[in-house]
Each structure stands twice: as C-alpha cells, then as structure tokens.
C-alpha cells in the first residue's frame, strides 16, 4: 500500500497524503458515526425548545449548520469523543485499512489504537470550531519523543475554500514546542512567533483520501468559507511496544500477529467509557 518512496517522503516531510486508500465501507462507517452524532445533537436542541422539528428534510452536509442557526446558535461539543463511542466507532478505529497504513509507517505489525480520536464538524465562518496551528503531542506530551501516527479522514471533498488541512513540512524534525493558549479559539497551539517560521502546504483531498502525519508535525484547518459543514474524523496509532500512557488510556491493541489473543475487544473498550459522562471531550 505504501511505497519506499512514500515512506521516505513521510520521514522527511512529516506527512503523507495517500489517495484513494480508504475503502467505501470505511467511509460509510465514518458517515454513520457522524450522522448519529448529528441526529442526537439536533434532537437535543428540539428537546430544549430551540427547534420545532429535527429538520430531517435537509441534507447531511447542511442540516447541522441550518439547525444551529435556527436554534439560535446554541453551544455544543465542538470536538466530540465520548458521544461517538459505539460499536461503529470501535470498528472505525481498528479498520484494517487504517491499521495497514499504521503498520507501514510505524515499521511494526504490533500496532495499538491510541486513545485520542475526534470528530471535526467544522461549521462555516465560525472561529469556535477553527483549529489553530498546533502539534498533536502538545496534547499528550508523553509522546514527544515517540512516534504516534495521526490520520485525518474527510468524508467529502476538501479544498482551501471549505477547510482543508495545512501542514508545515520538515518541522517535525525539531523539538516539541511549548503549548500556547490561543485565546481566540480556546485551543492550544503554537505561538505567533513559531507560526511565522512555518511553511504552510494546503492538502486538498477527495473522499477516500487519507492524510497521515507525525505527532510533532504542525498542522491546522483553514476557515470554512462554504455554506456546508466540513465533516471529518481523526484517529491515531502507535507501536504497542512503545505505547504511551496517554495512548493506552482508553486505547487498545489493534493488531498483534505475535499474540492475536491480545487484540482488543469491542465489549472491553466500551466498558472503559461507561463512567465517562456524555457530552464530554
């Protein structure tokens, strides 16, 4: 699936855009996870009296933003995690297509799914859901010196107009930067001084494409200037031998040819989330 040339590019630039490697069943699974979250979010606004109905006649790409506007722009979990937990989500996190890529990039068949994953419903022209320049390991610093592969999965075509990702090649070879508090968005990221040193590269993608990058690769999402929600999910993998505490916290072994009995089970993974309240990150 990944050539030696692509692997060398990933190691040199810190990211890799793989075209057409996400199969249709994985895309359908991703959409099903997101549609369920969208339905539950809008239904909550109906139950709270902000909407008269769930606007079921509006298509998936526009329904959330139109319902949000009609309900008076209520708050919601901008980076859902707990509310995505389900059998579909487990199947997404350990889908063979993603694990195959992780195996190639990590250089080992002993692969663990990291406990950090997210959905990114990016609404149009809204700072609150805009992710600034950051390095993923700023959120889990125990991975600063270890290799964690992040994967970003859009379910529609993404361009500079509707919030594709940007990366800064080569920066991952340096140190993990101290997290800077971005007051505008509420996320942590890179300081303005560090941002000025970056070389942005826009990664425009088609459904079925996969963007992979390291835990120290700076990246951000551009503003969404369209009239539709830009939908995506992201997940992470690490070598089981070097799995971090943050990765093992609600993570699981996704592949182990040496000991298949160690591979995580959905029921066990769901049990890890039982005490985590709904609506939390």
User: Both tokens of residue 227?
Assistant: 């009239």
Q: In the prediction, which pLDDT does 79 show? A: 84
| 27-60 residues labelled b (16+ CB within 10 A) or e (exposed) | bebbbebbeebbeebbeebeeeebbeeebeeeeb
- CATH number of the domain located at residue range(s) 4-34+81-272 in this protein: 2.60.120.620
Q: In the prediction, which pLDDT does 278 show? A: 84
How many CB atoms within 10 Å of residue 144?
A: 16
Q: In the prediction, which pLDDT does 280 show? A: 78
pLDDT tens-place string over residues 5-44: 999 999 999 999 999 999 999 999 999 999 999 999 999 9
| Cα gap 211→196, rounded to integer Å | 23
Q: Do the bridges between strand 118-119 and strand 252-255 make them parallel or antiparallel, or are there none, so unpaired? A: unpaired
Average model confidence (pLDDT) for the chain?
95
Q: In the chain, where are the structural domains located? A: 4-34+81-272
pLDDT tens-place string over residues 73-125: 998 888 889 999 999 999 999 999 999 999 999 999 999 999 999 998 999 97
Q: In the prediction, which pLDDT does 222 show? A: 95
């Amino acid at each position: 699936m990944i050539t030696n040339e692509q692997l060398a590019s990933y190691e040199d630039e810190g990211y890799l855009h793989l075209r057409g490697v996400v199969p249709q069943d994985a895309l359908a699974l991703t959409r099903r996870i997101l549609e369920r979250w969208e339905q539950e979010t809008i239904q909550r606004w109906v139950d709270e009296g902000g909407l008269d109905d769930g606007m079921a006649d509006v298509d998936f790409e526009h329904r959330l933003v139109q319902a949000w506007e009609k309900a008076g722009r209520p708050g919601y979990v901008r980076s859902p995690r707990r509310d995505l937990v389900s059998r579909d989500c487990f199947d997404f996190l350990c889908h063979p297509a993603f694990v195959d890529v992780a195996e190639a990039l990590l250089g080992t068949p002993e692969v663990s799914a990291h406990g950090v994953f997210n959905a990114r419903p990016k609404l149009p022209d809204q700072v609150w859901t805009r992710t600034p320049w950051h390095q993923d390991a700023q959120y889990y610093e125990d991975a600063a010196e270890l290799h964690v592969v992040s994967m970003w999965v859009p379910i529609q075509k993404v361009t500079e107009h509707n919030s594709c990702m940007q990366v800064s090649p080569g920066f991952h070879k340096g140190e993990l930067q101290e997290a800077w508090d971005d007051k505008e968005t509420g996320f942590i990221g890179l300081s303005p001084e560090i941002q000025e040193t970056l070389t942005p590269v826009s990664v425009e993608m088609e459904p079925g494409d996969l963007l992979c990058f390291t835990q120290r690769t700076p990246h951000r999402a551009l503003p969404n200037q369209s009239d539709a929600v830009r939908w995506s999910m992201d997940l992470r993998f690490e070598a089981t031998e070097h799995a971090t505490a943050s990765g093992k916290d609600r993570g699981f072994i996704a592949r182990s040819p040496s000991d298949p009995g160690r591979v995580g089970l959905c029921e066990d993974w769901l049990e890890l989330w039982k005490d985590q309240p709904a609506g939390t990150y």
